[in-house]
Chains A and B, each alone.
Chain A
């Protein structure tokens, strides 16, 4: 079971293979935004990886990051497209607090969406 560390908040035990976005909400108690409901359509669930960034990326995430001009930003990843398979440390940069939004977005499904038919090397 990996340890997920959120800078400035704490370190948390996370079920193996859980979607990072849901772990941030459930285990870490972070008001993480996920406006599209975890479908890799927006970038509000993005986090900055401090360490433990996965080397694999879904095709959907790669396309969205490229389309939004974030592909070149070191460590920026969509938490809805990351699974907690190993210890990782992130910085949360896109929270409900201060966003002006009414809510964080629909609850992302337990399984990754869209189904990651293709994993690429980042």
Chain B
């Protein structure tokens, strides 16, 4: 009897251990994945006559009475995708669907770009189809490399396309997995690799873009999606990701133009810094729960002080943890100000300094006797410049902190030290320092290797039109992300139209 009991216990313990191992492996496999569908269509947008939520799934449906004239899409509006892995479950009844990624918005809920295909028939599931573009890039079972000139090379087959179709549960739920790493795009269904594309084609490959779900024109159909999880991956091939966070509108037109300034800088980096991939989140803190997950640097351009977006809720801890991981942090203008008692210590750790009320001041003045740090990557190719701005000065730094490198200094006119005392206007220390040179932009190398940057200017949007100021800012954010700044700096051109684009409605 005892032997039987021991045997039974061994079996039970073995089962428990086995399931524990399996659970742990499953947990590890899901590590870093974040749900981007919360059971509602919050954060998603499409034509409401076709898209709804039922039984915990997104449902796209056309009927004979309610057809779609062209393919229509449900857009994920919270962010864009660059390098990532996406997992979801789908079920299709009739017709054709697909998951658009790194795609473009053509308006009226039409998307074009890479598509992980979904088919109720036996032909297209798992293939890579470029909607509104090059069409079929790889059929099921194919490994395709597309050269810079668009020429296709077929590699060793994954398997027979028809045989791979047997892995798909017709009319039932299937698990889709998309892995996009640089030019390499892989589609898996129910754990089986179905197609692989390596896309190098100049002018046609996409390294970032939107996510959307497709409802195909044609006969009535229904498609359901659930358990949608996203994991952003570190960018492949040495590229670096800069995330811009632009605060909510404030101040008069042309001032504190967080959206316009952030988008302009992102556009300049994309156009003139090949290693940089950017993401811009506007109107305050990102709603995208994965916004910072693969960031190499985060650039904050927003109103600060007690309303600084970084110090709300538990965000300070979140950003401090990212900085600890080595993510660069750059703060521009008002975003350098946080309350000493809430954020001050963290800002000293992350970027080496901050605007401290009753210590720092915020006068408007024209730069004079400008000096740039010699030999620092951020000042490469930058010539001394003189522009009018609300150049805050007398930042709070740690005493004698040699990790803080003054990047831009100038001598404020004495009149800026004669204002009445106040939290932002003046204080005895500033008043008694007439003629002193002040730090207006600084770089900071954290003891653990991460980088920080602060600059007090950029009150006026027009100053992004100054070639030298713009280059300094671009060099700085690139440096913060770990990009090697070119010898001549990041050279960009900005038209009057570009400067006036994306201004907030005020």
Chain A residues near B (Cβ < 8 Å): 1, 3, 9-13, 15-18, 26-29, 110
B217 close to chain A: CB less than 8 A: yes
Of B132-140, B259-267, B408-416, B471-479, the one touching chain A: B132-140
Given the known inter-chain contacts A9-B135, A10-B134, please indicate yes or no for A110 contacting B218, CB distance below 8 A: no
B18 contacts A by Cβ under 8 Å: no
> What is the distance, in angstroms, from A41's C-beta to the closest C-beta of chain B?
24
Cβ–Cβ < 8 Å partners of B119 in chain A? 1
27 contacts between A and B (CB under 8 A): A1-B96, A1-B119, A1-B123, A1-B124, A1-B218, A3-B123, A3-B136, A9-B135, A10-B134, A10-B135, A10-B136, A13-B96, A13-B124, A13-B129, A13-B135, A13-B136, A13-B216, A15-B217, A15-B218, A16-B218, A16-B219, A17-B218, A18-B217, A18-B218, A28-B135, A29-B132, A110-B69
Please tell me if the beta carbons of A11 and B218 are within 8 angstroms of each other in the complex: no
Q: What residues of chain B lie closer than 8 Å to A110, measured between beta carbons?
A: 69
With both chains docked as a complex, state the minimum distance between the C-beta of B378 and any C-beta of chain A, in angstroms: 44
Nearest-Cβ distance from residue A109 to partner chain B, whole angstroms: 11
Per the bound structure, the CA–CA distance linking A11 and B129 in Å amounts to 9
Select one of A1, A9, A12 contacting B121, CB under 8 A: A1
State A1–B117 Cα separation when bound (angstroms). Answer: 12
The distance in angstroms between the C-alpha atoms of A11 and B134, with both chains bound, is 8
Can you name the residue of chain B whose Cβ is closest to the Cβ of A9?
Answer: B135
Top-10 shortest CB links A-B: A10-B135, A15-B218, A12-B135, A11-B136, A15-B217, A11-B135, A10-B134, A1-B96, A16-B218, A16-B219
Report B162 CB to chain A, min CB distance, Å. 15
Question: Which residues from chain A contact B96 at a C-beta distance below 8 Å?
Answer: 1, 13
CA distance A16 to B95 in the complex (A): 9
Which residues on the B side are within 8 Å of A17 (C-beta)? 218
Q: When chains A and B are docked, how far (Å) is the Cα of A15 from the Cα of B95?
A: 9
Residues from chain B with Cβ under 8 Å of A27 in the complex: 135
Which residue on chain B has the smallest CB distance to residue A15? Answer: B218
Interface residues as binary, B60-80 with A (CB distance below 8 Å gives 1, 0 otherwise): 000000000110000000000
Given contacts A15-B218, A27-B135, A28-B135, 13 further A-B contacts (CB under 8 A): A1-B95, A1-B123, A9-B135, A10-B134, A10-B135, A10-B136, A11-B135, A13-B129, A13-B136, A15-B216, A16-B218, A16-B219, A29-B132
On chain B, the residues within 8 Å of A15 by CB distance are 216-218
- B95 cross-chain contacts in A, Cβ below 8 A: 1
- Quick one: CB contact mask for B100-141 with A, threshold 8 Å, 1 for yes? 000000000000000001010101100001001111100000
- On chain B, the residues within 8 Å of A18 by CB distance are 217-218
Contact of A1 among B69, B136, B216 (CB under 8 A): B216
In angstroms, how far is the closest chain A Cβ from the Cβ of B396?
A: 57
Please measure, in the bound complex, the distance between the C-alpha atom of A26 and the C-alpha atom of B124, giving whole angstroms.
Answer: 19
